[in-house]
Amino acid sequence: MTTTAFSGSPPANRVRQELDATLKLQRAAYLAHPIPSLDERRADLRKLQAFLRENKAGLVAAINADYRHRSQHETLFTELFPAIDAVNHTLKHLKQWMKPQKRGIDLRNFLGARNRVIPQPLGVVGCLVPWNFPINLSFIPLIYIFAAGNRAMVKMSENSRHLAQFLIDKIPAYFPPDKLAFFDETGGVGIKFSQLKFDHLLFTGSGQTGRAVMAAAAQNLCPVTLELGGKSPAILCDDYPVVQAAERLLFVKLLNAGQICTTVDHVYVPQGKTPAFVAAAKAIVAKRYPQLASPDYTAIIDDKAFQRLTQALDEAEAGGATLVQLIPGPKWDAVSRKIAPHIVLNAPADSQLCTREIFGPILPVIEYRTLEEPIQAINQGPRPLALYPFSHDKTTIQQLLDRVMSGGVSVNDGLFHVGQHDLPFGGVGDSGMGHYHGQEGFITFSKMRPVFYQARWSAVKFLWPPYGKFATKYLNFLTK
């Protein structure tokens, strides 16, 4: 039922037929069995986990091939471990999540009646997955989609061709196509996919594409969860140790060579502390990645992204910025598609590095005199997907939480709020809408269905027409 990778672009009508057929198959399976039991859902979750464990080497190799080089340790740490561990968390809590919730009743009119909110499956959920963390961003949503009792169709990125082929080949041994189907991007598949009448659609990617996906889904009144991106800032406050901040920020910034939607995009540093931050960064990065060819350092995903990043560095330097290369040797290598980590000082305000999400191993440093400056600068732009304040002062942290809105926050570190299974993940404004992860993921992919159970005897009958004096007195009592 799934598109075969590397076979050239199939005719558009065949792709549409294939997508329609799979959706029809899954819809029929849902209608035939709309409410999977707790045991059935747990079995699906264990199969997801078994697939990841039993195919670990193949998944790592496929992602490495798509990147040209991707650190195997980063794949294990950022993709397989979070998904495997999220299954354990979900198995532990699923029984409680599935329980109907008791809600209060208006005793004056409905004495003896009951209210419940019952979580029920939506049906068929579509997922559009980006290339940067293709296992994490497909399997973690699948955990909550299956926990909620749904079926799923997943469309992989055009930059994940090896992985897509691997999933298309291997997943049928674990799940039938009426439960889970993967699709490769062979040209125009994403557009057709987003036009399908799903019961919910999850998209992770750029804001520009997210707007197109939302517009397509709107034609079917299909609800969407959009996980987008943006320029997520870090704010180093005056009281926080510079070296410790640099150690943490640069680990996050150079993980996956900066190709993370929730990585730190740029950092605000107190006036006068930039030299100390730069010196710390040089020492830290040189130890972690002694040379550009280090096997621990990941390549840029494709030539287009490589050219965009190298041109952005050249543009900033031509505009008067200072480029600080953090490891010795060449600035970049087009063959391996690796770019040396850089700090950029005094980047022009209108440069690419300051106006668009960087998504690479480049960290602009911006000095500030008072905390009000980064607050105002961030609030003047689109709301970021994440905020990373560094301070041991609780009042300062609370001030930043109160005054700067973002999708999520990691205090005194970067990125790791995303790895907490019991925290929701999602953006706000331009950085997205909706949440998943944890119980919020279960709720997102469920219909939280309100149900009213009337009592054997109903006081509402006193308000049946024809209305008389009693009805008038009763309503006057209710509304006084």
317 assigned to active site: no
| Contact yes or no for 156/138 (Cβ under 8 A) | yes
Buried b (16+ CB within 10 A) or exposed e, 311-346: ebbebbbeeebebbbbbeeeebeeeebbbbbbbbbe
> Of 18, 227, 237, 357, which residue is the catalytic one?
227
Buried b (16+ CB within 10 A) or exposed e, 413-445: bbbebbbebebbbbbbbbbbbbbbbbbbbbbbb
Element (H, E) at 409: strand 408-409
- How many whole angstroms separate alpha carbon 408 and alpha carbon 428? 9
Eight-state DSSP code of residue 459: G
Q: Which amino acid is at 383?
A: R
Between helices 242-254 and 274-288, what is the axis angle to 10°? 50
227 assigned to active site: yes
94: which 2 tokens? 């699923």
Buried b (16+ CB within 10 A) or exposed e, 27-64: bebbeeeeebeeeebbebbebbbebbeebeeebbbbbb
> Of 127, 237, 261, 354, which residue is the catalytic one?
261
| Contact yes or no for 287/328 (Cβ under 8 A) | no
Nearest by Cα to 281 from 359, 362, 219, 215: 362
Instruction: Give SS3 for 66.
Output: helix
Burial class (CB in 10 A: 0-12, 13-18, 19+), 8: exposed
Catalytic residues: 227, 261
